[in-house]
Amino acid sequence: MPRYRFAEAAELLGVSDDTVRRWVEAGRLRARPADEHGPARVEGADLAAFAESLVHEPDRDQTRASAVSARNRLVGIVTRVKRDHVMSQVEMVCGPYHLTSLMSTDAADELGLEPGVRAIASVKSTNVVVEVP
């Protein structure tokens, strides 16, 4: 029976390694612990059953941001929104960080972004995705 490292399982499920680790820690996905023979692994049959359960009952804990594989999600507050006809510049403070996101004005309006709104910045590479919790 095949066994998959967390990174391999993550690739097959289309999620991050951290998501697989959280599912294992929460008891949602069974895994063999790391030992002298190698790293922690998921049995192929267990992974297949779990993958099928995700198709029929999508993971409700996932958010739109995590669905696009963004790894760094920062909760913060919108401090400024500069709107143009087409694009908007949204500035946020997330703890000690100041972030700026460029998005369509339609998207900023749809999210209801304005100073004082609680939002989540999802950072992936050079893109900042903003969503409202």
Same domain, 76 and 121: yes
pLDDT bracket for residue 82 (50, 70, 90): very high
Number of folded domains in the chain? 2
Same domain, 49 and 76: no
In a domain, 99, yes or no: yes
Q: Are 94 and 66 in contact (CB under 8 A)?
A: no
- The last residue of one of the domains, among 62, 80, 112, is 62
Q: Kindly report the pTM of this predicted structure.
A: 0.45
CATH number assigned to the domain comprising residue 52: 1.10.1660.10
Q: Are 102 and 116 in contact (CB under 8 A)?
A: no
CATH number assigned to the domain comprising residue 103: 2.40.50.100
Same domain, 57 and 92: no
pLDDT for position 26: 92
Same domain, 77 and 124: yes
- What ranges in the chain are assigned the alpha helix state H? 6-13, 17-25, 44-56, 64-67, 105-111
Give residue 48's domain range. 3-62
- The last residue of one of the domains, among 38, 62, 86, is 62
In a domain, 67, yes or no: no
Same domain, 49 and 26: yes
Q: How are the residues of the chain apportioned to helix, strand and coil, as percentages rounded to the nearest 5?
A: 30, 35, 30
pLDDT for position 65: 39
Same domain, 58 and 76: no
pLDDT surpassing 90 at residue 104: yes
C-alpha–C-alpha distance, residues 48 and 126, integer Å: 34
pLDDT bracket for residue 60 (50, 70, 90): very low
pLDDT tens figures, 9-54: 888 777 888 989 999 999 999 998 877 777 889 888 888 788 877 7
One-letter amino acid of 78? V
